[in-house]
Amino acid sequence: MSYMLMGATDTIIAGRASATDLAGLAVGTAFANTLWFFVTGVIFSVTPIVAQLFGAKKFKEIGRKLREILWIAGFLGFLLACIIFNLDLLLAFLPIEDSITNVTTGYLKAVAPGIAFITIFTCMRCYSEGMTLTKPIFIIAFSGMLLNIPLDLIFVYGWFGFPKLGGMGCGVATSIVSLIMMVVLFMYIALSKNYKKTAPFIAFTLPSIKTTKEVFKLGLPIGIGIFIELSMFSGAAIILSVLGEVVVASHTVAINIASLFFMVPLAIGLAAATRVGNLIGEKNPYQAKIASHSTIFLCIVGALMNVLIILIFGSNIVSLYTTELPVFELALSLIIFAAIFQIPDGIQMGALGSLRGYKDTFIPMILLLISYWVFAMPIGFYLTNYGFVSPLGAKGMWYGMIIGLSIFSILSIFRLRWIIKKTLQFKSLEPQKL
């Protein structure tokens, strides 16, 4: 929630600056977030790796793994920062208004260094969460979110004599916050007694080919899966961008609200990756099955609560994002879809989190590809531009996304049931101790 509130702060403050700043920020975050989450997906492999080692009580191996994976995180973060800094070369070929691309270009160049910092932070975060130490991450992330608010105001509006940067200011604020969060977490892990048994930084360790292969074998499907999912959202923003800044701004508000509320089932799903991983490491597949089923149930409950809140307080929530009446009215009609969105999105996150705990990542990636690129995107594009009687505009894209999410939620549940059954059968075939 803290991470998403940082994004919400950017959206609200840029939206109150102007619709152009909001649209430019939307296009910029669509590109940057899609690429960053692809890399982050690779780093997410740290959680199940650490969780299973933690369940098996192999503490020293956890510290060595962290040092080896930090090399990977540093390299990927630097590479990604270079790519994002130069994305303006791609923007020139897209049919987007110059006023929007100018804001987008400034934002991407400003946020690029922060991408490298937050990638390294994510590696250490997953290490901590894999050992069930989630509270330090919460405190640091929540503090970073609070710090992001005044920094956004300073750089977007030019307070205290700073230049007025508009949407670009959000990128500057994000980079500063990311650097501070990375440094603080590194210092905390190095000094806190909670991490001493894993001895994370007591020795210098060179990169390991074996660990690199393990990370990419497990993490690359996660990264590609996240890329596929986010490319659906980014693709939606790009498809709608030709309809004008009002449509783009309204869609951005709606997707931001949907994503903000999605943090509830996402948190449960991430916890499941740790919990199921711990139990598999302990060689306790029966409790892992219970944890997986509990995850699905909790995600459904959380999603239903989100639906009620969005439907009841929708107009109040939208009014926080924009003061422009055309943007407000269209966004208000779209958040009904954002409410429906919560149910299949919550279910799939619960199943996906549990599957990561089992280190099952490749088949879920294929299922994501089918659900989003074969169904969601083509259906959304067709309904947006043609419809059955007339073009549906932004609503058509939301219909497509909901259909794709519903398909994947069903497929992921079937996959989880198969993995659980397979794991239990394997356990029953093991020789019993006398």
Residue 117, domain member (yes or no)? yes
Spell out the alpha helix ranges (H) of 158-244: 167-191, 209-241
Q: What is the pLDDT of residue 228?
A: 83
In this prediction, residues 159-169 reach a mean pLDDT of 83
Same domain, 198 and 255: no
Residue 406, domain member (yes or no)? yes
Residue 236, domain member (yes or no)? no
pLDDT in tens, 244-301: 778 888 888 888 788 888 888 888 988 898 899 889 988 898 999 999 999 999 999 9
Same domain, 280 and 364: yes
Same domain, 212 and 272: no
Same domain, 141 and 253: no
Please check the confidence at residue 370 and state whether its pLDDT lies above 90: yes
Report how far residue 9's alpha carbon sits from residue 305's, in angstroms, rounded to the nearest whole number. 23
Q: What is the pLDDT of residue 434?
A: 42
Same domain, 21 and 167: yes
Q: How confident is the model at residue 186 (pLDDT cuts 50, 70, 90)?
A: very high
Report how far residue 287's alpha carbon sits from residue 295's, in angstroms, rounded to the nearest whole number. 12
Residue 434, domain member (yes or no)? no
Please check the confidence at residue 323 and state whether its pLDDT lies above 80: no
% of the chain at pLDDT higher than 90: 38
Same domain, 253 and 214: no
Q: What is the pLDDT of residue 431?
A: 53
Residue 92, domain member (yes or no)? yes
Same domain, 67 and 158: yes
Residue 280, domain member (yes or no)? yes
Residue 301, domain member (yes or no)? yes
Least confident of 221-225, 310-314, 399-403: 221-225
Same domain, 263 and 331: yes
Residue 234, domain member (yes or no)? no
Report how far residue 302's alpha carbon sits from residue 163's, in angstroms, rounded to the nearest whole number. 42
Domain that holds residue 131: 1-219
Q: What is the pLDDT of residue 95?
A: 66
Q: How confident is the model at residue 412 (pLDDT cuts 50, 70, 90)?
A: very high
CA distances 312 to 135, 299, 303, 332, Å, are: 31, 20, 14, 12
Please check the confidence at residue 417 and state whether its pLDDT lies above 80: yes
Contact indicator for 42, 219 with CB cutoff of 8 Å: yes
Same domain, 256 and 160: no
Q: What is the pLDDT of residue 428?
A: 59
Same domain, 189 and 257: no
pLDDT in tens, 82-100: 999 988 788 777 767 777 8
Report how far residue 98's alpha carbon sits from residue 241's, in angstroms, rounded to the nearest whole number. 12
Report how far residue 241's alpha carbon sits from residue 209's, in angstroms, rounded to the nearest whole number. 43
Average pLDDT, the chain: 87
pLDDT in tens, 100-124: 888 888 889 999 999 999 999 999 9
Please check the confidence at residue 427 and state whether its pLDDT lies above 80: no
Task: Among 219, 252, 286, identify where a domain stops.
Answer: 219
Report how far residue 246's alpha carbon sits from residue 248's, in angstroms, rounded to the nearest whole number. 5
Same domain, 215 and 247: no
The number of domains in the chain is 2
Same domain, 152 and 298: no
- Pick the closest to residue 151 from 34, 331, 6 (CA basis): 6
